[in-house]
Structures are given as structure tokens and as C-alpha cells.
Amino acid sequence: MRLASLIALTAFLMAPPAFAEDDDHVAKIGEVRLLHGWARAPEEGSNSVQVFFEIEHNGATPATLVSVESEISQSANVMAASTKAGGTAVDLGAFPLTPGEDFDLGPETVFIRLNGVSAHLHEGDEIEVTVLIEPFGEVDLHVEILDHDANNHAHAGHNH
């Protein structure tokens, strides 16, 4: 009897929390799933990195992408790409997520800019970012570094 209880307790402690699920391509917090994190390798001499991912909001609770943090950067901003050729991106501060809708962060829409990046990132490298989605909390997302001219993640658009 004690052995069975010990085995059950060990399995419980080793299981991931029900409220946060993640693997290499998917991170889940509350009613929101983040998929296929990727970034463009920075140009030579640049200390900022643009990060992109897909957002699925499968619930009814209004939510907001509030912030992103990474151990390799000094700060991060939620940015909107310029609608004018050669224009400057705009700091959004936060980004509302519409319940029941999906949104893809991308080079021509909304993206995360990591500022003051201390690592020398190259195609094939991987980083982790922590994403704060209110009211659900924080979740870690795996981000793959792609070529500096990449326009999307190789797995973009397929289901998990």
C-alpha cells in the first residue's frame, strides 16, 4: 500500500501543471496557446531581435499580451510594424487578444522586439522567452532562430 502511494505521489509531482502546457512548438496558459516561436537572426552589429509566434485564443475571457522577457535581452517591446515602406515600427505597450480568434505575430504585423541582446545569435540557435498574458499569467516559449530574411516558421499553419 505504501509503495502504491509513493508511486502515485511521484507521478503527480513529476506531471506538468494543468494550467501551463508546453513543448518545443506549443506553450499554453489559460485559454491561450502560443505556437511556433521564431526569430530572425539579427543583422551584423544589431543588438535587437524580432520575435514572432502564433496566438490561439480559444476561450471567452478577454486577454492581453502584456510583455515578454528573455535572459538574453535588457528589455522587450510589443511593436506594430510600419504600414509605410521604410517607416518606423510603433511601440504598442500591450496587445489585446480577441476571445475566439487567432493572430499571427509577423514581420509585417505585430512583433516582439528584444532590445539590448547580449548573445550572438545565428540561424539554428534557440532561445527561451517568458510571455505574460493577462489575466492568465506567464508561460515560457521556445524560439528558434531562423535566417535574417525568413518570413515565417517552417511549421506555421499546421495543427498541434
Domain CATH number, residue 43: 2.60.40.1890
* Section 74-83 average pLDDT: 94
pLDDT score at 24: 65
Domain contains 151: no
| CA pair distance 47, 119, nearest whole angstrom | 9
Q: What is the pLDDT of residue 53?
A: 97
The answer to whether position 46 is within a domain reads: yes
Q: Is residue 7 part of a domain?
A: no
Domain assignment present for 67 = yes
Please provide the average confidence, as pLDDT, over all residues in the chain: 84
Structural domain containing residue 79: 18-146
- Evaluate whether 98 touches 57 at the Cβ level (below 8 Å): yes
Residue of higher predicted confidence among 18 and 106? 106
Q: What total number of domains does the chain contain?
A: 1
pLDDT bucket at 132, cuts 50 / 70 / 90? very high
Is the pLDDT reported for residue 1 higher than 60?
Answer: no
Residue 157 lies in a domain: no
Whether 36 shows a pLDDT value over 60: the answer reads yes
Confidence of residue 125 (pLDDT cuts 50, 70, 90): very high
Q: Which residue has the higher pLDDT, 21 or 65?
A: 65
Q: What is the pLDDT of residue 86?
A: 78
Query: Residue 22, Cβ neighbours under 10 Å: how many?
Result: 17
69: nearest Cα among 134, 142, 130, 145: 130
**Dihedrals φ, ψ of 8, to 5°?**
-65, -40
Per-residue pLDDT at 28 exceeds 90: yes
Query: Model's pTM, two decimal places?
Result: 0.79
Share of the chain above pLDDT 90, in %: 68
